[in-house]
Every structure is written in structure tokens, then in C-alpha cells.
């Protein structure tokens, strides 16, 4: 099934092009817009007396960093921390209650990036032990044990015997934990954590906390305020899109009481091909379609040009979706417009959920990192979309950059999901071939007599 879905925040409204379906060329993909559900208030999950993290999804990123919370939460909270670090222990205990409250409300997804500082002995074995507990959904409880031991025993907190005792205390499968500890997985995750910290803009040593990729002060009030600002920003974007789409156009019929999706005829501009100002070398068997997408954006309904490239790759079908010429959602406090900065990472996350992936999928994203588009530096991250209502699971990455004052974001992914492992170099080779080609202003001459 075709992955790219034209998704709008509307109440049971299906938006289609004014061109009849029969006129769609058989040599190009058939884009089928789908309605999305009105966003609903998150349902808070309940903790138990024995487990404050009960009833919350406990997973890991592609790099092995533990995550707590619902994958489609609006706000990402990333904590770079270490267990052999007294300051990290104090920060974690002070800020975890407020972060956990937002996680339980379905508002935030928490990612912990495990580092070591060398401040105390056996910091790396302690991190490995906690990461292996994550296989049995016990990472966060094991972290509580680690910091409890650190406070009680200081430099002797992480002896081998004590690390093993934690497995027993939490009722974990000892054989499975031992197998993990002897594997390379936890060590690889720690190495990835170190690399991520070194490349992360704004990282100031453990502990450092990011809210939607922006560093925040390590205190309860700052973290709570940052999360609430991001929630307000998302709510405002959703409401603006709802307000825009709930206003019928002169060429449409809108009945809020209707139980069936209502078809709205769009202006002809939605049927115009607008090729992007670039060249891209496609392998044999690949096809492309250019069109415009009516998008319920932050401030209004707007037409956003897109291009869809698709074709065979090792193990399945590869796709590259390009969205370009869109306005930025600036980073910072939306109620204080001074000093706001353009951030294509934020735009990439916004458009991933709003326009690229079908509404209702469980979407997971990794940490911010740099990619290459045509040899130029771009910013983005890995993503996955699973348990979607109508489309198959997929995985890939996005990368955004600005050229000649125009924004471009490329989304690369595969179907089936497992094909991405072998097809990643093939997709990157296509992105490496991108060459931007902007029109040159006509030269003017001045005659002299």
C-alpha cells in the first residue's frame, strides 16, 4: 500500500483534488487522501503502589536508548545523564516527578541517553545492567535502585554482587539478563550515547535535558514551563488547522452532522505539478510525481509543493517524499516572538506527523543528528511508524535544509519495514545525487550614448 498519505487535522472531512480519479495516469502513484480524527485529550495512565512506571510503554530507540511513554506524544524530553554522577542523581530525583507526570498524561515521551563520567567506579557496568533490565521493561525501576545505592554506598555502590542483586529484587529473568550483559548491545548503546552527546548542539555535560531538541535548565520549573510551552504550541497548531478546515469554501458543502466523509472540491492549484528547483538521479524503475498538498498548517490552510519518488530497492520498495517551500515553525516561546530561530528539525517532526505519515500510527523518532543531501549538511532524525490503521509499518529518516531561502525536507523510507536495513545506502545514494538548480535572474544592460 502506498505510504504517503495526505493527512489533515479535520473532523471527518475528506479532501480530494478536483481532477477525476479516472484521469490519474496509470504510470504514477495514486494518492489517496484519508480523513483524520479530531485530536482528543490524552488519557492519563495509572501507576501502581509497587511500580510508578506501570501501564506506560517502555521501549528503546534505534540506538538502544530507553524510552518511557506513548510514541505519539507531542513533546520529546531527552535526558543525557550518568549513574556514576552525584549531580545526575540529584537532578534526576528532582525533575523526574514532573517529567513523569507529563509522560503519564500522554503529553511527553521521555528518552534517557546513558553516559558515564568516571566520577565513581563501575559506572559503565551499572549502565549496562540498567540497559539489560530494559529488555524486561524494568529499566526505570533499575535506575531507581542504582541511584538509591549511590546515595547509600557512595563509591562502593556498583559492585558486581549489588548489580546482580537488583535483578533478584526486581524479579527479572536472570538468564536473559546474563545473556544481555555478555552481548555487545549495551556497550554499543553506551558508545552511541557518547557519540550523540558529542554531536548534540547545546550539550553541556551530564546531566543535560532537551525539550523538543532545545536545551533547558535542569530545574523543575524550567522543565515544566518548557514542556507546557511546547504543548501550547501544538494545541495552537491543531486548533488553527481545525478552524481553517471547518470553514467551508464557496465550492464545498459542509454538514457537521454528516456521518460519512464529505468531499470538498479544491481549487485547480491543487492539481498543478510544481517540480522542485533541483535535479536528482533516479535508478532504473523509479518514478516521480509532482503535485501540491493542501495542508492545515499552524496559521492557515496553505498549498505546499511535494514530490514523491518511488521505485525498487533491495528487499522491497523505496520511497522519498520531498516537501518544500513551506514556512517555518520557529523555535522558542510562541508567546514571546523576540529572538525566535528557524529550526528545520522542528519543522521535520511537525510535517512528519501532519503530512507524511497516516494519522493514527504509532510514530517513534530518535535523537537529532546531521545528514547529507547532495553533499550539503542537513538536520533530521530516524523515524518509524507502526500499527497504522491502513498502511504497513515503515522505517526511515528525514533530513531538512534551506537553500536560496527556500526550505526543503526529504523523507526516505521503505516498504516493508525491514527493507530499510539493506536499502539505506541505496536511498542515501539518491539523496547524494541531489543538485539544487535555481533560476538565474535575467541580466540587464544599460545603453550609453
**Cα 303–chain centre separation:** 23
How far, in Å, CA of 200 to CA of 182, rounded? 29
> For 274, which DSSP code?
-
| DSSP letter assigned to residue 381 | E
Are 404 and 438 in contact, with CB atoms under 8 Å apart?
A: yes
Helix (H) or strand (E) holding 209: strand 208-211
DSSP 181: H
> Dihedral angle at the C-alpha atoms of 302, 307, 313, 316, nearest 10 degrees?
40
Return d(Cα 294, Cα 15) in angstroms, integer. 8
- What is the grid cell recorded at 66? 530507553
* Cα within 13 Å of Cα(296), Cβ side: 27
User: Is 408 exposed, middle or buried, given 0-12, 13-18 or 19+ CB atoms closer than 10 A?
Assistant: buried
Is-cis flag, bond preceding 207, omega within 30? yes
Domain ranges of the chain: 13-19+264-436, 58-218
Nearest one of 65, 51, 172 to 127, comparing CA atoms: 65
If we measure between CA atoms, which residue out of 388, 405, 384 comes closest to residue 396?
384
**pLDDT score, position 12:** 27
CATH topology of domain 58-218: Glutaredoxin (3.40.30)
What distance, in Å, lies between the first and last C-alpha atoms of the chain? Answer: 68
What's the pTM value of the predicted model, to 2 decimals?
Answer: 0.58
CATH architecture, domain defined by 13-19+264-436: 3-Layer(aba) Sandwich (3.40)
DSSP per residue, 413-430? EEESGGGHHHHHHHHHHH
Tens-level pLDDT at each residue, the chain (449 residues)? 334 443 332 222 222 222 333 333 333 333 222 223 233 334 455 666 678 998 899 988 888 999 998 877 888 899 999 999 999 999 999 999 999 999 998 889 999 999 999 999 999 999 999 999 999 999 999 999 999 999 999 999 999 999 999 999 999 999 999 999 999 999 999 999 999 898 888 899 999 999 988 899 999 999 999 999 988 877 776 665 555 545 544 443 434 343 333 222 233 334 457 789 999 999 999 999 888 877 655 545 567 888 999 999 999 999 999 998 887 754 444 434 444 456 788 889 888 988 888 877 888 888 888 999 999 999 999 998 888 888 889 999 999 999 888 899 999 999 999 999 999 999 999 999 999 987 655 444 444 44
| Cell numbers found for residue 197 | 552527546
pLDDT at 181 (0 to 100): 96
C-alpha–C-alpha distance, residues 156 and 250, integer Å: 74
Query: Can you say whether residue 243 is alpha, beta or left, with left for phi > 0 and alpha for psi between -120 and 50 degrees?
Result: alpha
E-strand spans in 243-349? 262-265, 278-279, 287-296, 301-313, 316-324
Beta-bridged to residue 306, according to DSSP, are: 291, 323
CA 341 to chain centre: 19
- Residue 361 and residue 385 in contact, taking contact as beta carbons nearer than 8 Å: yes
Would you state the pLDDT for residue 240?
A: 58
What's the order of all strands across the beta sheet hosting 208-211? Answer: 58-60, 66-68, 108-115, 75-82, 208-211, 214-216
What pLDDT score does 297 carry?
A: 53
Amino acid at each position: 500500500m502506498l505510504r504517503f498519505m495526505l493527512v489533515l487535522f479535520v473532523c471527518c472531512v475528506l479532501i480530494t483534488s478536483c481532477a477525476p480519479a479516472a484521469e490519474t495516469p496509470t504510470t504514477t502513484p495514486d494518492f489517496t487522501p484519508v480523513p483524520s480524527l479530531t485530536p482528543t485529550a490524552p488519557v492519563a495512565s495509572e501507576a501502581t503502589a509497587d511500580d510508578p512506571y506501570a501501564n506506560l510503554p517502555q521501549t528503546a530507540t534505534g540506538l538502544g536508548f530507553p524510552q518511557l511513554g506513548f510514541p505519539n506524544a507531542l513533546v520529546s524530553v531527552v535526558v543525557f545523564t550518568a549513574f556514576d554522577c552525584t549531580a545526575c542523581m540529584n537532578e534526576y530525583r528532582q525533575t523526574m516527578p514532573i517529567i513523569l507526570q507529563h509522560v503519564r498524561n500522554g503529553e511527553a515521551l521521555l528518552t534517557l541517553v546513558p553516559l558515564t563520567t568516571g566520577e565513581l567506579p563501575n559506572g559503565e557496568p551499572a549502565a549496562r545492567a540498567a540497559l539489560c533490565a530494559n529488555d524486561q521493561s524494568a529499566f526505570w525501576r533499575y535506575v531507581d535502585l542504582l541511584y538509591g545505592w549511590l546515595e547509600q554506598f557512595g563509591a562502593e555502590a556498583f559492585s558486581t554482587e549489588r548489580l546482580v542483586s537488583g535483578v533478584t529484587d526486581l524479579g527479572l529473568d536472570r538468564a536473559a539478563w546474563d545473556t544481555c550483559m555478555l552481548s555487545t548491545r549495551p556497550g554499543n548503546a553506551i558508545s552511541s550515547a557518547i557519540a550523540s552527546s558529542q554531536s548534540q548542539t547545546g550539550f553541556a555535560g551530564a546531566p543535560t535535558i532537551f525539550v523538543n531538541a532545545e536545551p533547558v535548565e535542569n530545574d523543575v520549573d524550567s522543565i515544566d514551563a518548557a514542556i507546557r510551552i511546547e504543548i501550547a504550541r501544538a494545541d495552537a497548531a491543531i486548533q488553527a488547522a481545525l478552524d481553517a478546515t471547518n470553514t467551508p469554501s464557496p465550492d464545498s458543502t459542509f454538514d457537521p452532522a454528516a456521518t460519512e466523509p464529505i468531499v470538498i472540491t479544491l481549487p485547480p492549484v491543487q492539481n498543478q505539478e510544481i517540480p522542485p528547483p533541483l535535479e536528482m538521479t533516479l535508478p532504473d524503475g523509479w518514478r516521480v510525481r509532482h503535485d501540491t498538498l493542501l495542508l492545515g498548517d499552524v496559521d492557515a490552510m496553505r498549498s505546499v509543493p511535494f514530490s514523491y519518488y518511488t521505485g525498487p530497492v533491495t528487499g522491497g520498495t523505496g520511497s522519498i517524499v520531498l516537501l518544500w517551500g513551506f514556512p517555518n515553525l520557529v523555535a522558542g516561546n510562541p508567546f514571546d516572538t523576540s529572538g525566535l530561530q528557524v529550526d528545520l528539525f522542528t519543522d521535520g517532526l511537525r510535517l512528519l506527523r501532519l503530512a507524511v505519515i497516516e494519522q493514527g500510527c504509532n510514530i517513534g523518532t530518535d535523537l537529532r543528528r546531521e545528514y547529507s543531501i547532495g553533499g550539503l549538511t542537513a538536520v533530521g532524525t530516524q523515524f518509524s511508524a507502526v500499527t497504522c490503521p491502513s498502511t504497513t509499518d515503515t522505517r526511515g529518516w528525514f533530513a531538512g535544509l534551506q537553500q536560496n531561502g527556500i526550505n526543503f525536507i526529504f523523507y526516505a523510507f521503505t516498504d516493508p519495514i525491514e527493507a530499510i536495513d539493506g536499502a539505506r545506502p541505496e536511498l542515501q545514494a539518491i539523496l547524494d545525487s541531489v543538485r539544487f538548480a535555481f533560476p538565474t535572474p535575467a541580466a540587464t544592460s544599460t545603453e550609453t550614448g
